[in-house]
Structure 1
């Protein structure tokens, strides 16, 4: 079992409540290039990131862009940080980042955690990395009544599952960070350029929509459960992430 936070849940979040839920919506005529907004988690993007690497900055901002513009894409993060059992978030920026986000997600909500990630990275100058000073200053400014020691310190209350991200990543054999999975399929290193990734993900959504449309058209009484099984049985599936607050990873053989 391994915890990864989904930032959004298209099936249940109120922001998507006005979207149609019927699987037959996949067959509704639209203009070419239009992405259908259907209230199901048909398209999933998981980003494995080291929060201190420069590439993570633009990838987090891209995820926020997808979320802000209501692209029908469920977005999850796996942060790979220091795995030492006793570590101070005041001295390790990656650990401090992880604990701060856990605090915001637990005490507020996941969407605010995403916005906070973007705000933190907006304070990082080009060519630099996130620092403990930036994290501490952000915490003090945005949450002045919060105890920095309780959040970032060695005995932090917001350290749950910190080591699991790195351990799972190490066992997965996914390759060097950053890594992205679209519907369980890893993107190649050449596809991870943030300047190209937005177009690539949107194209993947449209291409996968065509595959789903074919499945719906061929099966007269298709339902979302049937379509989900179809998705998970597609070739080249390596990882499937299920659930939100306590998701688990199911590993499929190649």
Structure 2
């Protein structure tokens, strides 16, 4: 009997280059800019072997480029892997978690897990480049994006946040979507990572988004991890704030309608 496996296919076109053939950071920067401006669909352009003294300068330079900015391109540099990523053209599906989190905040209030004044203590940022990472990620640049990424890239980013931004970043939520084979069906998964007792990143929770085989499924983060040093008086640090996967599924389905996609079954 022959068993056939249908692999998940990402939404994004992936292009890979090595920086070894470039003599100066300016030369590499021009090449990256040209690649970004030529992109016609959701694209991730990866440059490996980018020296640590080049990466931050290139990202900062492209962040100030008006043509690149108009495309809402996201520039990232990982000083540990010496990889520079340029991501162009996002899709609705990979931005639906913003509305999901807004809905979750409302649910927390209705369940009296938090009060209105508590949420005002949090600052929400999107598409802002972060550059204050500690060793071994010093010199890295990261822009949160609404793009499809490979699992390998997502895990690299998770380590960047949990190791390079400790102790401030305590939890990383990874949400992944991919096509099921060559169909228009979408598979999805959510994972939560934290630091273990040794300070190393570890998978704490996971849930399948699609296929939606589990009803009333949720993940959870603690109030202590969410609020950190601004934990409101009277709110216990170990209070679990649920993240409803059912609500995320609804937001994802609504986004897929505009992309001629359907959830995997």
TM-score category by the smaller chain? Answer: under 0.3
Instruction: Name the structure where strand makes up a greater proportion of residues.
Output: 2
TM-score (ref. length: structure 2)? 0.22
Whose relative contact order is higher, 1 or 2, with alpha carbons under 8 Å and at least 6 apart? 1
TM-score (ref. length: structure 1)? 0.23
